[in-house]
Amino acid sequence: MSDSRIGLLAILGTYTIWGLSALYYAQLSHVPPLEVLAHRTVWSFLAFFAVILVQGRLRDLLGVLHPRTGWSGLYRIIPAAVFVSINWFLFVYAIQIDKTLEASLAYYISPLLAAAVGWVVFKERLSGLQWPAMGLALCAVVILTVGLGAAPWMALAMSSTFVAYSVFKKGVEAGPTLAMAAETTLLMPVSLVYLIGAHFGVWGGDAVGGGAFGTNWHDTAFLAFSGIATGVPLLLFGVAAKRVTLSSLNIGHYYNATLQLTVAVLIFGQAITLPHMVALPLVWLAVSLFSLQALRRDRQVRMARKASVNASIDDIVL
């Protein structure tokens, strides 16, 4: 099987799991979101640590976590770990308060917001259809804010934390598996302390005054498996990132968001209001324009690279 086909299958698997993950975490809607987050972090750490051990890269992990890595390692991984933790919490919390529809909007907005941040922070050039795409996305947010009487804070918070996470990850030299292992290693001690306190009722827990883990097989299994549910799509994403174009990765976000939107409306029964009916088509048009421009840019880069190779061959022949 070719690398490109492996990459496409990996990205399809990644976004399918992410798109349907609301169904998984809905099974834990009665467990406090901080407790779910803490379990997700601890079990993710165990999953990634197991992969690192199998790969024989424990020394590499310790190296990534050493202060000498500076701004290409530890000093970026620390804030990245904080932002991904906040993002995970917001996603779980959104499901518990019946905001899955708004969570799906976050994944439509994220690539557009990332481009805006790239333009402002990294001086990355926006071109062509990306400008009207940004304008349409801004109009959609304004329509939702006016129509619903409040800004879509959950969607904006989720997309902002994900983009902040991406910004800090941008300069990390470690590969995706090693970087995620480092992030969960940093978060694990705090999460473990929280879970111990929840188990003994120090700061609450579930309705009976203790942590949900161990109270019944359903909650125990879903909490323990959250590490695999988190780790597998991230590993698949790492496989895909090396084999498909950046535009394909970004377009995948919209497939993820559409699955989440479908789950929110058809399975959870969340209503699409009139403001949503106006704003969502604007967002879809925005991401379509943005993706089209990304595909155009990819094609131009490939053509330029091919022309450069042909020119080099001609020089050698001459």
**pLDDT, position 206:** 47
**Angle, in degrees to the nearest 10, between helices 74-96 and 153-169:** 160
Q: Are 185 and 53 in contact (CB under 8 A)?
A: no
pTM of the entire predicted model? 0.80
**240 part of a folded domain:** yes
Quickly count: other Cβ atoms within 10 Å of residue 18's Cβ: 24
* Cα atoms in the Cβ-side hemisphere of radius 13 Å centred on 97: 11
Please count the structural domains in the chain.
Answer: 1
- Write out the H or E segment, with its range, that includes residue 13: helix 3-26
CA 216 remoteness from chain centre: 30
Alpha-carbon distance values, 209 to 13, 32, 89, 201, 223 (Å): 38, 11, 21, 5, 18
Q: Are 172 and 76 in contact (CB under 8 A)?
A: yes
**75 part of a folded domain:** yes
Tokens of 135: 């304008």
First to last CA, the chain: 37
**pLDDT, position 208:** 44
Alpha-carbon distance values, 77 to 67, 99, 168, 189 (Å): 11, 29, 7, 16
**155 part of a folded domain:** yes
**Dihedral sign, CA of 83, 87, 90, 96?**
negative
Domain of residue 167: give its range.
3-306
HEC string of 80-121 equals HHHHHHHHHHHHHHHHHCCCHHHHHHHHHHHHHHHHHHHHHH
Q: Are 53 and 128 in contact (CB under 8 A)?
A: no
For residues 99 and 197, give the distance between their C-alpha atoms in angstroms, rounded to a whole number: 28
Tokens of 125: 């050039």
Q: Taking Cα atoms as reference points, which of 231, 253, 271 lies closest to residue 19?
A: 253
For residues 213 and 192, give the distance between their C-alpha atoms in angstroms, rounded to a whole number: 13
**317 part of a folded domain:** no
Question: What is the chain's percent helix, strand, coil content, to nearest 5?
Answer: 80, 0, 20
**165 part of a folded domain:** yes
**318 part of a folded domain:** no
**95 part of a folded domain:** yes
**315 part of a folded domain:** no
- Averages of pLDDT over runs of 10 residues in the chain (318 residues) are 74 87 92 92 92 91 89 88 92 91 82 77 75 82 78 86 83 82 93 87 56 83 90 78 62 78 88 83 81 73 68 55
Burial of 264 (0-12, 13-18, 19+ CB in 10 A): buried
- Write out the H or E segment, with its range, that includes residue 25: helix 3-26
